Structure 1
Amino acid sequence: MKNRFLANLLLTFIWVALTGSFTIANILFGFILSYFVLFIITRGSGRARYFKLVPKLIGFFFYFLYQLVKANVQVAWEVGTPKLHMTPGIVGVPLDVQSDAQITLLANMITLTPGTLSLDVSEDKKVLYVYSMYITNREEFIREIKNGFEKRILEISS
């Protein structure tokens, strides 16, 4: 997988050098083009993890961006209006992620989203305690984390 990523970057830099255009759009186009060239060249080799991982990483990035914008708008609305609409609380979220890296990534994604904060992980690493400014339904909040960040982290790491 590491070799394919390096080959993808090398082909991207070759594309940029040949076109002579060092813009973000051209670099991105070169990366996508070289990704598809590598996909076609290595099709049928049985080692397709890289080609499954890249779309998942891109999807994870855009999901995080969506959650970030949504939470920023929600917190900005709270700050900008005179009446408080907060229903703060702390929820224990049962974890399906198991490794320290997965738990750390999940906790960081939650903490980076405005209005939420990862507080602690249980000793047996089965529960993540999360503070949120807006908890109207605990089960729905847990489901949102499990079907959102945690599900995508498990997809990326599998």
Structure 2
Amino acid sequence: MSTRRPLLRRLFPSPALSITVVAFWMVMSSSFDLGQLVLGMLLGLVIPLFATRLDREFARLGTLRPVPKLLFVVLWDILLSNIRVAIQVLGPERRLKPGFIWVPLDIDNIHGIAALTSFITLTPGTVSAALSEDRRHLLVHVLHLEDADSLIAEIKSRYEAPLMEIFP
């Protein structure tokens, strides 16, 4: 049994990635049939094998308890930001105060940082622009910047804190 586990781990280095690849393949394919499922499963087997060779930092997962609330927060923020940005864009251009802010990061897991940058970029009105070399600061462009400190505090409490639980 001890020799079987390493073999299984080598064949399936990331079961979550394999499942994600199959799911995305099925969503992107034009038909839901056995051939597409087999092809998706083959890709789900092969892609993680290559990904482990490229990725030297493996994702360490902590607790998944914050995931449902975090997803709700992100979706809610996307909805509200869409409305806010539409109002800002349709209003007078002189009212907009675009700007850049550096968000100091407490999270050091690269996968958590990637999720954080994705959440920020998915939210209309903000875009992750750069990550410092030491991964301690994230440059964010904001369409309308009123209070940098409160925006930083909001990003850290709404996104970074739960991500630190998921990616310790």
* TM-score bracket relative to the smaller structure: 0.5 to 0.7
TM-score, length of structure 1 as denominator length? 0.63
Name the aligned partner's letter for residue 120 of structure 1.
Answer: A
TM-score, length of structure 2 as denominator length? 0.59
The 2-side partners of 1:64 and 1:111 are apart by 11
Q: Secondary structure at the match of 2:101?
A: strand
The 1-side partners of 2:90 and 2:156 are apart by 30
Name the aligned partner's letter for residue 101 of structure 1.
Answer: H
Q: 1:102-141 counterparts in 2 under 5 A?
A: 102-141=112-151
Match of 1:71 in 2: 81
Report the Cα offset of residue 70 of structure 1.
1.0
Report the Cα offset of residue 85 of structure 1.
2.8
The 1-side partners of 2:98 and 2:92 are apart by 17
Q: Secondary structure at the match of 2:161?
A: helix
The 1-side partners of 2:155 and 2:119 are apart by 10
Residue 105 of structure 2 is aligned to residue 95 of structure 1: yes
Q: Percent identity?
A: 33
Aligned partners of 1:78 and 1:84 also within 8 Å: no
The 2-side partners of 1:136 and 1:121 are apart by 22
Name the aligned partner's letter for residue 145 of structure 2.
Answer: I
Structure 1 residue ranges, 4+ long, deviating more than 6 angstroms after superposition: none
Residue 160 of structure 2 is aligned to residue 150 of structure 1: yes
Q: Secondary structure at the match of 1:96?
A: coil
Q: Which runs of 5+ in 2 are unaligned?
A: 1-60
Please report the RMSD computed on the Cα atoms of aligned residues, expressed in angstroms.
2.1
Q: Secondary structure at the match of 2:96?
A: coil
How far does the alpha carbon of each residue in 1:98-152 deviate from its partner, in whole angstroms, 9 at most, with x for none? Answer: 0111111101110011110001011111000000012111111111111111112
Q: Which runs of 5+ in 1 are unaligned?
A: 1-48
Distance 1:102 1:144, change over 3 A: same
